[in-house]
Chains A and B, each alone.
Chain A
């Protein structure tokens, strides 16, 4: 778990503003994921990437964008098109693209719209 670093831990976004959440891992994992968690809710998959320079939409990709230019980095941009972005965002990673291998989570980032 300690090998996945998310920043910032707390972020405030103004209406119409794009913000980017950072996720870095030093576990040499191939796959990385972004989940959104609303208060009292489960984990919903936003985007995932199983290899560098490739990524796929999850269940709730609208209003979000990602890039995977390096194996260790998978930043998430919350765009102004995401109308209700206030949530807890979790980055995760595992090796072999989720084929039965444990997913490890970062410590999360709290995003609040002000």
Chain B
């Protein structure tokens, strides 16, 4: 995942606050950017994704924004709840890796109630 950098590695927020996780990628030809949520001991599950032809996508409390010029995309979670606590992974398709998905290192999100 060195070609997809994810920050921060840990994030602690108060319940009801917003959380933002940011990822940068190296390949300007990347065209697909999913976000996965992984609870402890379980499999990652897709929560939202965005393709390179749009700048923003929203699904209830979750949104993703994409800045192709700067080569970064971000996950926004509003009105956080304790059940949002998990590890979040971003990913990007990278042409130099045969258009496979490359994952960021993950962000541990803790929502304090």
Interface residue ranges, A against B (CB under 8 Å): 1, 40-45, 48, 56, 88, 90, 97-108
Partner of A1, one of B43, B101, B102: B43
Q: How many residues on chain B are close to A (CB under 8 Å)?
A: 25
8 A Cβ contacts from B10-39 to A: 31-32, 34
Residues of A within 8 A of B104 (CB): 42
Complex: A99 Cα to B99 Cα, angstroms: 6
Residues of A within 8 A of B46 (CB): 102-104
Contact B103 A106, beta carbon cutoff 8 Å: no
18 more A-B residue pairs beyond the given contacts A99-B32, A105-B44, with a C-beta to C-beta distance below 8 A: A40-B108, A41-B105, A41-B106, A42-B1, A43-B44, A43-B103, A90-B43, A98-B100, A102-B34, A102-B46, A102-B49, A103-B46, A103-B101, A104-B46, A105-B43, A105-B45, A107-B43, A108-B41
Complex: A44 Cα to B49 Cα, angstroms: 20
B42 interfacial by beta-carbon distance below 8 Å: yes
Complex: A43 Cα to B36 Cα, angstroms: 11
B93 interfacial by beta-carbon distance below 8 Å: yes
Complex: A102 Cα to B49 Cα, angstroms: 8
B112 interfacial by beta-carbon distance below 8 Å: no
Contact B45 A100, beta carbon cutoff 8 Å: no
B51 interfacial by beta-carbon distance below 8 Å: yes
The 10 closest A-B pairs by CB, nearest first: A100-B32, A105-B43, A42-B105, A43-B103, A98-B100, A42-B106, A42-B1, A107-B43, A99-B99, A42-B103
B89 interfacial by beta-carbon distance below 8 Å: yes
Residues of B within 8 A of A43 (CB): 1, 44, 89, 103
8 A Cβ contacts from B89-111 to A: 89, 91, 93, 98-106, 108
